[in-house]
Structure 1
Amino acid sequence: MRATRAIIHLENLQYNIGLIRERLPKGTKLCVPVKADAYGHGALRVAVAAIRSGAHFLAVASVQEGIDLREAGIVAPILSLSLPIPEEIPLIIEHELTPLVVDGEFIHQLGEVAKLMGKKVPVHLKIDTGMSRIGCAPGQAAFLAKQIAQEKHLVLEGTATHLAAADSTAPQDIAFTRGQLAQFDRALEEIRNEGIDPGIAHAANSGAVCQYPEAAYGMVRPGILIYGYPPSEDLKDCIPVKPVMELETRVVAIKKIEAGTAVSYNRTWTAPEDTYIATLPVGYADGLLRRLSPGMSVRIGDKRFPVVGRICMDQCMVDIGPDPWVQRWDVATIFGPEPCGESARDLAGLADTIPYEITCGINRRVPRVYLGDEARNW
Structure 2
Amino acid sequence: MRALARVNLSAIERNVARLAREAPGCAVCAVVKAEGYGHGMVAAGRAALAGGATWLAVATAEEARELRAGVGDNVRILVLGAVSDAELVVALDADADVSVWSVERAQALADGGRGARVHVKLDSGLGRLGTRDTAEATAVVDAVAAAENLELVAAWTHFATADERGDQFFGEQLARFKAWAEPLRAAHPGLLLHAANSAALLRDPASHFDLVRPGVAIYGLDPFGDDPAQRDLEPALELVSYVAAVKPADVGESAGYGRRFVAQRPTTIATVPIGYGDGWRRALTNRGEALLHGTKVPLVGTVSMDNVTFDVGAVAGLEAHVGDAVVLVGAQGAEQITAEDVARSIDTINYEITTALTARVAREYHRDGQAPGS
TM-score (norm 1): 0.92
Is the CA contact 2:42–2:71 (under 8 Å) kept in the aligned structure 1? no
Distance 2:88 2:277 in 1: 34
Q: Could you say which residue in structure 2 is the equivalent of 1:154?
A: 150
Residue identity matched to 2:326: A
Matched, 1:213 2:205: yes
- 2:58 aligned to 24, 39, 60, which one? 60
Q: Could you say which residue in structure 2 is the equivalent of 1:131?
A: 126
**1:4-43 alignment to 2 at 5 Å?**
4-25=3-24, 27-43=25-41
Distance 2:281 2:356 in 1: 8
Report how far residue 192 of structure 1 moved. Answer: 4.0
Structure 1 residues not aligned, in runs of 5+: none
- 1:327 aligned to 308, 321, 325, which one? 321
Is the CA contact 1:161–1:203 (under 8 Å) kept in the aligned structure 2? yes
- 2:345 aligned to 345, 350, 362, which one? 350
Report how far residue 70 of structure 1 moved. Answer: 1.6
Matched, 1:365 2:357: no
**Could you list the per-position Cα deviations for residues 249-287 of structure 1 after superposition, in whole angstroms to 9, with x for gaps in the alignment?**
011111122221111111111112222211110011111
Across the two proteins, how many residue pairs are aligned to each other?
368
Secondary structure of the structure 1 residue equivalent to 2:309: strand
Distance 1:192 1:122 in 2: 16
Distance 2:225 2:50 in 1: 30
Is the CA contact 2:76–2:96 (under 8 Å) kept in the aligned structure 1? yes
- 1:44 aligned to 42, 45, 54, which one? 42
Residue identity matched to 2:223: P
Distance 2:371 2:214 in 1: 23
Structure 2 residues not aligned, in runs of 5+: none
Distance 1:220 1:164 in 2: 16
TM-score (norm 2): 0.93
- 2:288 aligned to 276, 296, 302, which one? 296
Secondary structure of the structure 2 residue equivalent to 1:314: coil
Distance 2:184 2:317 in 1: 72
Distance 2:4 2:264 in 1: 32
Distance 1:261 1:88 in 2: 54
Distance 1:251 1:229 in 2: 27
Is the CA contact 1:278–1:319 (under 8 Å) kept in the aligned structure 2? yes
Is the CA contact 1:169–1:234 (under 8 Å) kept in the aligned structure 2? no
- 1:191 aligned to 184, 197, 211, which one? 184
Matched, 1:163 2:155: no
Report how far residue 198 of structure 1 moved. Answer: 6.1
